[in-house]
Amino acid sequence: MRRAERGGISRRKLETVERTFRKRLDGLVKSVEWVPEYDVGLEELRIELWDGILADESRFDVAWWTRHGYKYHYVEGGESGATDDGSDRLQFRFGWEKRPGVPDKHFHPPDDLDAHRESCVRHEDPKRVTLAVLKCWHTAATAGDPAKLNALADPP
Amino acid sequence: MPTDDDVDAPPSVEDVEPFDADELSGDVPDDLDDAVTAEWTESTTAFERIHAVLKDTTEPRTTGDLADAAATTKPTVRKHVRPLVDAGMVEEDASATATRYVWSSTQRRVDRVADLAADHSPSELDAKLRRTKRRLASLEQTYGVDSPSELVAQLDPDDDAGWEDLSVWRTLEVDLKRLRAAQSMTEYLARSEPGESPRDASRHA
């Protein structure tokens, strides 16, 4: 089986993501940046938050593509005082891609970023996927406990 | 550690309550997908959801598909899609057994080009075009092929960086067309500015 092409980036879907973050998290959104730029070769939407699960700051790097697929990569800590490779920061990622050998909708848990676990999020529209990701993050952040993410379809 | 500066302290996660639905109070539910759908239907009308789902379509979808995606019924989809088809915002394809609908790509593309032309000066557009061409040239050079379609044929399924670049290439191809169209539009608008050209002057004389 070949890996399926996902097309170019979808600005429309990313705008839905931005709107949903701002509306649901209100003042917690510290900044929003289109990387590297909105009109030329856009790769991701970077949303910085004023709070985190363990750290005081965090960010989501989000991408949605036109044909299928998304990524929500979460990493904690501000730009300053961070290690170069980010290895000691809390990170996780929700992803959807069609490639051989991994579940289409998967979750890379904080304790094993390279693993593709079956994700509890199965929707394919940016609104509901964003709500689901926010629910997982908000629950973990309120408890200060990454285990509360509960993002695996069949938690071990 | 409370200080006198607390009024200026950054907001914390305790300050927000993002969800309305009971299904999303407390811990992450085991049926998160259903809970999120409940939240969505509680905070929107069926028309808003149908509109949002249609706007994201790039390929024609059946009424049943759209009803599932918008968490509503087929009759409700039929009722709301009709005015959008009549207004030319949605295209109807009745050739197959089931009628299918897709957001008008013409409308979408024209809107984006118009936004670009309205928000940027000719020199800004020119700079963006040059950056687009530079990045395209760099991809062509890196992979030794002239197009993303040629690239996809030679990519290994596990070459994550290659697949990332493929998506960027697809994005840049569309960006190049949009920027060129926006440039033409600004030139056209500048020429037809009242009083700017001799023809306009004669008309007002």
Question: Which residues numbered 34-53 in A keep a CB inside 8 Å of some CB on B?
Answer: 37, 39-43, 50-51
Distance in Å, alpha carbon of B75 to nearest chain A alpha carbon: 21
Question: Do residues B92 and B85 touch, judged by C-beta distance below 8 A?
Answer: yes
pTM of the full structure:
0.89
What's residue A47's pLDDT? 98
Of B58, B116, B171, the CB nearest to A41: B171
Picking from A1, A2, A3, A107 by the largest number of B CB atoms within 10 A of its own CB, the best residue to mutate is A3
What's residue B201's pLDDT? 44
Per-residue pLDDT of chain B (205 residues; tens, 9 = 90+): 555 555 677 889 988 999 999 999 999 999 999 999 999 999 999 999 999 999 888 889 999 999 999 999 999 999 999 999 999 999 999 888 889 999 998 888 888 899 999 999 999 999 999 999 999 999 999 999 999 999 999 999 889 999 999 999 999 999 999 999 999 998 888 776 665 544 444 444 4
SS3 B70: coil
Region at A124 (left for phi over 0; alpha for psi -120 to 50; beta for the rest) = alpha
Residues of chain A under the 70 pLDDT cut: 1, 78-87, 156
Alpha carbon A126 to chain centroid, angstroms:
12
A108 interfaces chain B, CB cutoff of 8 Å: no
**ipTM score assigned to the predicted complex:** 0.89
Q: Let me know the angle formed at the C-alpha of B177 by B176 and B180, rounded to the nearest 5 degrees.
A: 85
What's residue A87's pLDDT? 60
Question: Do residues A118 and A103 touch, judged by C-beta distance below 8 A?
Answer: yes
Question: Do residues A86 and A110 touch, judged by C-beta distance below 8 A?
Answer: no
SS3 B157: coil
Contacts of B116 in chain A (CB under 8 A): 39
B65 burial level (CB within 10 Å; 0-12, 13-18, 19+): middle
Q: Which two tokens stand for residue A155?
A: 């938690």
What's residue B204's pLDDT? 46
What's residue B200's pLDDT? 45
Residue of B nearest to A56 (CA): B12
User: Over the stretch B186-204, which tens digit does the pLDDT of each residue have?
Assistant: 888 877 666 554 444 444 4
Whether residue A155 has a cis bond before it, omega within 30° of 0:
no
